[in-house]
Amino acid sequence: MSTWLSILIAFPVMAGVAWVFRFAGQSATSNKPFFRDMPFGVAFGYVVAAVAILLAFKIYFIDQVLFFRWAMQGLIIFTVSAFLFRLLGRLVGTAGSRKLFRSMPLTAAFGVMIVLAYAILAIFAPVFAPYGEEQVFAAANTLPGGDPATGGDPAHLLGTDQIGRDLMSRLIYGARNTVGIAFATTCLAFFIGGSLGFLAATIGGWLDQVLSRAVDVLMAIPALIFALLLMTIASAWSVKLGIPLTIFMILIIAIIDSTRVYRLARAVGVNIVVMDYIEAAKLRGEGLTYLIFREILPNATAPLLAEFGLRFCFVFLTIASLSFLGVGIQPPLADWGTMVRDLAQFINFAQFSPLTAALPILAAGAIALLTVAVNFIVDWMLQKSSGLKE
Amino acid sequence: MSELLLKVRDLMIEGRSDETWNPIINGCSFDLNKGEVLGMIGESGAGKSTVGLAAMGFTRDGCRISGGTVEFDGIDLVNASAAVKRGLLGKRIAYVAQSAAASFNPAHRLIDQHTEGPVQHGVMPREESQEDAMELYRRLRLPNPEEIGFRYPHQVSGGQLQRAMTAMAMACRPDLIIFDEPTTALDVTTQIEVLASIRDIVEQFNTAAIYITHDLAVVAQMADKIKVLLKGDEVEEADTRTMLSDPQEEYTKSLWAVRSFQRPTKPAVPADAVPVVSVKNVSAAYGKVPVLFDVSFDIHAGRTVAVVGESGSGKSTAARCITGLLPPTSGVIEFDGEPIPADYRSRTKMQLRQAQMIYQMADTALNPRKTIGEIIGRPVQFYMGLTGSAKRKRVDELLNEIELEPSQYFHRLPSELSGGQKQRVGIARALAAEPKFIICDEVTSALDQLVAEGILKLLAKLQDELGLSYMFITHDLATVRSIADEVVVMKDGRVVEAGPKKEMFTPPHHAYTDLLLSSVPEMDPDWLTNLLDARGVDNIGDAAVGKM
C-alpha cells in the first residue's frame, strides 16, 4: 500500500518542483525565450526525466537486478561507441561521407552500432557462442550470473534452460536464425508487393482493380490467424514433399506482408505517376520497365525504406509469435520466439528466484532492442530524404 | 491625422540550412500609418513574404529574427511572449495567404471558419459574428451573401474563396492585414473583382495593409507607397506615383522596363504552305463531359501560335489532344499534312520525337532524383542512340544552347537550380529530341518577370536558329504581345477568335477578347478606378462575362 501512496504523493511534489524549476529558470536567465515560452508540461517532463535517472542510479546498485545493470552498462557502452563511431566518420573519409555523418543524429549512430553488433554475432555465431546451439548439459542450472557464491555455474554465464542447453549460445544462434529468416522474408515481401504495386499504379485500369481487390481479400483475414492456418497446412505438405517448413514459412509470411507493401507502393506510385516528368517520359515512348525502375522507384525510396524498417520488425515479430505458438522455426533450432515461450514457465518461480524468472526477458529484450535500433536508422533516413526535397 | 501603427527597424532574419545560419533579410526598415497600404514587391526569393510574416512577429520554421525591432502599436513583437502574440494575431493583425484553396480547411463550412476568430478572441458571440460575416460578404460583393457562408470551400470558385478569406481576415476588424500575393493564382478577369473588393474594404474600415506581390501593375492599383526588395536588401521606397514616374535605382528601372521585349512581325505565310501541325475540327471529352468543341487551327513552320483563355477554357486540353494523351472523340491531328494516330501509344518513335512539350511547373516536370546530365541525356540516347562521350558532347552542346555552363550544371540535381534554370533544363530536354514543334504550356507563368523575359528571349533565339514552331499556351496577354505571331482565343472549349497578332490587338474585338484585354492591369495607378467606372461598379467580373 505504501508504494502506491508514495507514487500518489510523488506526482504533486514533482509538479511543484517543475513550477519552481521553470520560475527559477525565468528569473535566472532574465526571461530568455527558452524558459519564457516553456509550457508547464515540458517543465514537468524535465523533472520526471531527472527523477527517472536518479531512480536508475539507485536501482543499479541493488544486487538482485543483474539484468538491469547489464542493460545500463550496455546502454552506456553502445552510446559511447556510437558517439566515437560518428566522430570517426566526421573526421575520416570523403567529403560526401563526412557530410553524411555530420547530419547523423546520435540515435541513428546508436542504431547502426546495435545492428552491426547483431550482424557480426549472427554471421560469426560459431566463433562467439561458447557451446553448440543443440548441446545439452547434464548439469542444468537455470540461475544466470555465473556466480558460484549464489549458486550459479561459471561455465554458463546466462545459465541454461530447463533441459540444460546453454542460454548464451542459443541467444547468439537465435540471432542467426530469427534475423536471417526475417530479413529474407521482408526482402521477398518487398519484391512481390513493390513490383505489383508500381505495376498497378502505372498501368491502372482493370489490372489495378484485380490486384487491389485480391489484396483487399487477403487483408480482410486477420494476418496472424491466416498465417497459423496456412502454416498448419504447410506442415503436412512439408513432410509429404520433403521441403523444409522454414521455406514455407518464408513464403507464407512474405505473401501476407506483401499486401501491406502493395498498398503503400501503389499509393506512393499513383502520386508519382501524375507528375509531369512521368508524362514526359511516356510521351517520349519509354517502356514500362524504364518508367517503373528509373522514373518512379527513385522517388519512392523514402517511404519504401521507412516501411522496410517497420515491416522488418513486424515480420520479425510474426516469426517470433509463430515460433512461440509452435508452428514457426522448429526445435532444436534456436529461435528467440521459441525461447520466450520455453522460458516463460520460469515466471512461476519469481518468488524464489527473481533472476531465473526474468530469463524470458533476455530473448524478448533481444527482439525489442533490434526493433528499436532499426527504427532509429529508418527515422534518420526519412529525415534525410524529406529534407532533400525542400 | 496619420497615426503610426507599425514600426520596423533594421530587421534581420536568418534561415538555417546545412547546419549554419544564413542571412535572408539584411536590415529592412519601414513605417506604416493607420489606414495606409504598403506595397512590397520583388522577385521570388527577395524576402517579401518573410518580411510580411515578420511584421506579425512570426517566422517560418528554420528561420529566426536575429536583429532589429518590430513595434506594433507600441508592442515589441520580436520579444513578445507567445501568449501576447496569440492575443494579437487574428484579432488586431490578420493574414491573407496566396492560395485560399489551400488555406481553408476543406472539412468545415466557410462561416464556421469565419466565426472561429471572433469567438476565440471574445470579440463577439457566434450569432453576432455570423450576421457580421454576411454583412462582410455583402460588402465584398459575393453572390448570395446570406447563403454562401454555409457552403464548403470546394463549393465556391477560386476568386470567391479569396474574397471569403479577406472577409475572414476582417472578422475582428484588425488594424493591420498582410496580403501575401492574394491574386497571383487567379485569372485576370477574376483578379479584378478581388482587387476591387480588397481596395474597397480596406478603405471602408481604415485598415492598414501590407500588400505583397511580384506584379507591379497590381501593386500600382492597391498601394499608397511601394517598397522594392532584392535578395533580402532594401532597394528603395517611395509613394506610388513617384515610384512609377521617377524610379531612382537601376534595379527598379529594369523592373519597370521588363515588358519591353518585342519580336519583329514576320511576313505572312504563303497560302499554299503545309502547316507543321494542323488541328482539324477536334472535339474531346473527359469521360462523358465534353470539353472541346470543334476546335481547328494551324501552326506553320517557324511560327508561334499563342493560345489564350482563362483557366478551364480548354487550352491545355487542346495540347493534350495534339500530344495524344487525350484521344479526341472526333476530328484529326495532322503533322506535315499527314494524319497521325490519335493515341500516343500507337505513334512511332519518329512521330513522338517531332512534338515535344515544355511544362508550366518545372518542379514537377523534372525528376527530382536525376541529375541534369541524366535528364537531358535520356532523350539524346533514346532518340539519337548516342552513348558515352558522344552523348556527353551533345548534352554539353544543349547546355550551352540554354546558356548554362556544362561543367557546373551537369552533375547537379533539379533542387539545386533556380526556377528559371529549371525551366531552361526543360527546354533543353525538349530540344534534345530535335523536334520541329514544341508545345509551351504556361512556361513563364510561374516565373518572375525578369526571369520570364529571359526565357522568352531564349525561345525566340532558338526559333530563329532552328526554325521551330511553338504552340504557346498562356493566360498572360503581355507574353502574347511579346512572342506570338498568331493568336487563338479560347473560351469554354471553343475557339472564339483567331488570327495574326496585329489584328487581334487592334479593335474591333470579339466581346470576350475585349474583356480579356481590358482586364490586364496597367501600370497607371488610376487604371482600376477608371476601368470600374467604365464597366459600372456592379458590373465587374462575373457579371460582365455573364452578360455576353
- Give tens-digit pLDDT for B441-461: 888 877 777 788 888 888 888
What is the tens place of the pLDDT at every residue in A86-140? 888 888 877 777 877 887 888 999 999 999 999 898 888 888 888 887 788 877 7
| HEC letters along chain A | CHHHHHHHHHHHHHHHHHHHHHHHHHHHCCCCHHHHCCCHHHHHHHHHHHHHHHHHHHHHCCCCCHHHHHHHHHHHHHHHHHHHHHHHHHHCCCHHHHHHHHCCCHHHHHHHHHHHHHHHHHHCHHHHCCCCCCCECCCCCCCCCCCHHHCCCCCCCCCECCCCEEHHHHHHHHHHHHHHHHHHHHHHHHHHHHHHHHHHHHHCHHHHHHHHHHHHHHHHCCHHHHHHHHHHHHHHHHHHHCCCHHHHHHHHHHHHHHHHHHHHHHHHHHHHHCCHHHHHHHHHCCCHHHHHHHHHHHHHHHHHHHHHHHHHHHHHHHHHHHHHHCCCCCCCCCCHHHHHHHHHHHHHHCCCCHHHHCCHHHHHHHHHHHHHHHHHHHHHHHHHHHHHHC
- State the DSSP H helix or E strand holding residue B125, giving kind and residue range, or none if neither: none
Rank A13-27, B8-22, B257-271 by mean pLDDT and report only the highest: A13-27
Beta strands in B263-397 (DSSP E): 277-286, 289-299, 304-308, 330-335, 338-339, 355-358
Return the pLDDT at B544.
39
Q: Is residue A99 part of a domain?
A: no
Size of interface A-B (CB pairs under 8 A): 53
For residues B350 and B469, membership in a common domain is answered with yes
Three-state SS at B439: strand
For residues B172 and B282, membership in a common domain is answered with no
The number of folded domains in chain B is 2
Return the pLDDT at B19.
66
User: Chain B window 412-451: which residues touch A at a Cβ cutoff of 8 Å?
Assistant: 415, 429, 433
Rank A43-52, A353-362, B239-248, B521-530 by mean pLDDT and report only the highest: A43-52
User: Which pLDDT band, with edges at 50, 70 and 90, does A262 fall under?
Assistant: very high
For residues B372 and B236, membership in a common domain is answered with no
Q: Is residue A139 part of a domain?
A: no
**Distance of alpha carbon B253 from alpha carbon A58, whole angstroms:** 74
For residues A183 and A48, membership in a common domain is answered with no
Q: Is residue B448 part of a domain?
A: yes
All residues of chain B having their beta carbon less than 8 Å from the beta carbon of residue A277 are: 364-367
Q: What is the CATH number of the domain that holds A181?
A: 1.10.3720.10
For residues B324 and B468, membership in a common domain is answered with yes
The pLDDT mean for chain A works out to 86
Return the pLDDT at B18.
64
Distance from CA of B356 to the nearest CA of A (A): 8
User: Chain B window 369-398: which residues touch A at a Cβ cutoff of 8 Å?
Assistant: 369-370, 378-379, 382-383
pLDDT at B547 exceeding the cut of 50: no
For residues A345 and A213, membership in a common domain is answered with yes
The number of folded domains in chain A is 2
For residues A56 and A173, membership in a common domain is answered with no
pLDDT at B1 exceeding the cut of 70: no
pLDDT at B315 exceeding the cut of 90: no
Overall pTM > 0.95 = no
Q: Is residue A178 part of a domain?
A: yes
What is the tens place of the pLDDT at every residue in B115-144? 888 888 888 888 888 888 888 888 777 888
* Contact check, Cβ <8 Å, A298/B379: no
Range of the domain at A11: 1-61
Cβ-contact B434, B376 below 8 angstroms: no
Rank A100-104, A341-345, B361-365, B465-469 by mean pLDDT and report only the highest: B465-469
Q: Is residue A200 part of a domain?
A: yes
**Distance of alpha carbon B298 from alpha carbon B337, whole angstroms:** 10
For residues A53 and A200, membership in a common domain is answered with no
Query: Does B346 reach chain A within 8 Å, measured CB to CB?
Result: no
Q: Is residue A188 part of a domain?
A: yes
Lowest mean pLDDT among A379-388, B332-341, B413-422: A379-388
pLDDT at A344 exceeding the cut of 50: yes
Distances (CA, A) of A215 to A147, A193, B338, B377: 55, 10, 46, 39
Three-state SS at B145: helix
What is the tens place of the pLDDT at every residue in A295-329? 999 888 888 888 888 888 888 888 888 888 888 88
Return the pLDDT at A199.
93
All residues of chain A having their beta carbon less than 8 Å from the beta carbon of residue B379 are: 284
Q: Is residue B525 part of a domain?
A: no
For residues B282 and B252, membership in a common domain is answered with no
Residue predicted with more confidence, A292 or B239: A292
**Distance of alpha carbon B460 from alpha carbon A45, whole angstroms:** 64
**Distance of alpha carbon B56 from alpha carbon A148, whole angstroms:** 71
For residues B288 and B381, membership in a common domain is answered with yes
Q: Is residue B513 part of a domain?
A: no
* Contact check, Cβ <8 Å, A279/B415: no
Q: Is residue A120 part of a domain?
A: no
Three-state SS at B30: strand
With a CB cutoff of 8 Å and minimum separation 6, the contacts of A389 are B368, B415
pLDDT at A264 exceeding the cut of 90: yes
Lowest mean pLDDT among B87-96, B167-176, B239-248, B374-383: B239-248
Range of the domain at B313: 277-506
Nearest to A356 by CA among A60, A70, A145, A138: A145
Return the pLDDT at A389.
39
Q: Is residue A69 part of a domain?
A: no
As for the ipTM of the complex, it is 0.73
> Which grid coordinates belong to B90?
487574428
Distance from CA of A272 to the nearest CA of B (A): 9
For residues B34 and B82, membership in a common domain is answered with yes
User: Which pLDDT band, with edges at 50, 70 and 90, does A213 fall under?
Assistant: very high
* Contact check, Cβ <8 Å, A299/B367: yes
Return the pLDDT at B542.
44
% chain B with pLDDT above 70: 95
**Distance of alpha carbon B338 from alpha carbon B330, whole angstroms:** 16
What's the one-letter identity of residue B448?
D
Lowest mean pLDDT among A8-22, A358-372, B264-278, B306-320: B264-278
Return the pLDDT at B2.
64
Return the pLDDT at B259.
61
With a CB cutoff of 8 Å and minimum separation 6, the contacts of A2 are none
End of a domain among B257, B285, B320?
B257
Mean pLDDT, range A264-285, rounded to an integer: 90
* Contact check, Cβ <8 Å, B378/A36: no
For residues B147 and B40, membership in a common domain is answered with yes
Distance from CA of A357 to the nearest CA of B (A): 49
Q: What is the dihedral of CA B394, B397, B402, B406, to 10 degrees?
A: 90
Nearest to B440 by CA among B454, B457, B423: B423
Q: Is residue A77 part of a domain?
A: no
Q: What is the dihedral of CA A314, A318, A324, A328, to 10 degrees?
A: -140
Return the pLDDT at B540.
44
Residue predicted with more confidence, A1 or B97: B97
Nearest to A315 by CA among A244, A363, A233, A251: A251
Q: Is residue B398 part of a domain?
A: yes
Mean pLDDT, range B473-490, rounded to an integer: 84
Q: Which long-range contacts (CB under 8 A, 24 or more apart) does A292-297 make?
A: A292/A195, A292/A198, A292/A199, A292/A202, A295/B367, A296/A198, A296/A201, A296/A202, A296/A269, A296/A272, A297/A198
For residues A175 and A42, membership in a common domain is answered with no
What's the one-letter identity of residue B409?
Y
Query: Does B341 reach chain A within 8 Å, measured CB to CB?
Result: no
Return the pLDDT at A390.
34
Residue predicted with more confidence, B535 or B79: B79
End of a domain among A61, A79, A97?
A61
Residue in chain A nearest B322 by alpha carbon: A283
End of a domain among A40, A61, A82?
A61
* Contact check, Cβ <8 Å, B429/A102: no
Cβ-contact B477, B394 below 8 angstroms: no
Q: What angle, 0 to 180 degrees and rounded to 10, lies between the N-to-C axes of helices B126-139 and B188-204?
A: 120
Mean pLDDT, range B80-94, rounded to an integer: 83
Return the pLDDT at A309.
83
Q: Which of A30, A98, A283, A295 to mutate: most B Cβ within 10 Å?
A: A283
For residues A175 and A315, membership in a common domain is answered with yes
Return the pLDDT at B546.
38
- State the DSSP H helix or E strand holding residue B116, giving kind and residue range, or none if neither: helix B110-120
What is the tens place of the pLDDT at every residue in B255-313? 776 666 677 777 777 777 788 888 888 888 887 888 888 888 888 888 889 998 877 78
Please give the backbone phi and psi of residue B65, each rounded to the nearest 5 degrees, phi first. Answer: -85, 120
All residues of chain B having their beta carbon less than 8 Å from the beta carbon of residue A102 are: 19
Three-state SS at B491: strand
Q: What is the CATH number of the domain that holds B246?
A: 3.40.50.300
End of a domain among A42, A61, A80?
A61
For residues B233 and B347, membership in a common domain is answered with no
Q: Is residue B544 part of a domain?
A: no
